[in-house]
Amino acid sequence: MSDNLEKLHEHYREGDNQFRIAGGVEGIQKLANDFYDQMETLPEAKHILGLHPGDLTESREKLGRFLCGYMNGPDLYKEKYGPLQLAPAHAHIPIGTDEKEAWLLCMEKALEQQPYPQAFKDFLLQRLAIPAERCRNQP
């Protein structure tokens, strides 16, 4: 990574910069909604859509709340639903490489729709690949 990019990533990691750059609660809830819109649209995501409840309203809200805390903003998920550990929360869902890649594809496409700087989108997608890998429980 170039020195400049490293400095930028350091900046993103400070305080609640990610939360703010992502547009606060409103911006992040939009990201979560766009993410699930992508899941409902992309043929590559049909399989993981099928793992979700038929009504995605709560999934949209839960992801938005979770991502606020993930980006060092207020932990809105915990406030409403209590603490969440991602890997145990996904243990009952069969997630292999295909499912992980489909999830990240939905996120990549949703990030494309946001008014964030490109470097920030790249940073978030790179960051999210880590919990996505942790959720994988199949070869």
Query: Residue 139 CB, nearest distance to ligand HEM (Å)?
Result: 14
> Residue number with the shortest CB distance to ligand HEM?
103
Stretch touching ligand HEM by CB under 6 A, among 6-14, 23-31, 36-44, 45-53: 45-53
Query: Residue 85 CB, nearest distance to ligand HEM (Å)?
Result: 10
CB 81, CB 62: distance < 8 Å? yes
Of the residues 9, 11, 30, 52, which one makes contact with ligand HEM according to CB under 6 A: 52
CB nearer to ligand HEM: pick between 5 and 81:
81
How wide is the angle at C-alpha 31 spanned by C-alphas 26 and 34, nearest 5°?
Answer: 120
User: What is the separation, in whole angstroms, between the first and last Cα of the chain?
Assistant: 30
Cβ neighbourhood burial of 23 (10 Å; 0-12, 13-18, 19+): middle
> The tokens 């995605």 sit on which residue?
56
Query: Residue 110 CB, nearest distance to ligand HEM (Å)?
Result: 12
Q: How far apart are CA 88 and CA 7, in angstroms?
A: 34
Q: How far apart are CA 137 and CA 133, in angstroms?
A: 9
CB 67, CB 27: distance < 8 Å? no
124 makes contact with ligand HEM (CB under 6 A): no
Within 70-109, which residues bind ligand HEM (CB under 6 A)?
Answer: 70, 81, 86, 89-90, 93, 95, 99-100, 103
Site residues (vs ligand HEM, CB under 6 A) = 48, 51-53, 59, 62-63, 66, 70, 81, 86, 89-90, 93, 95, 99-100, 103, 128, 131-132, 135
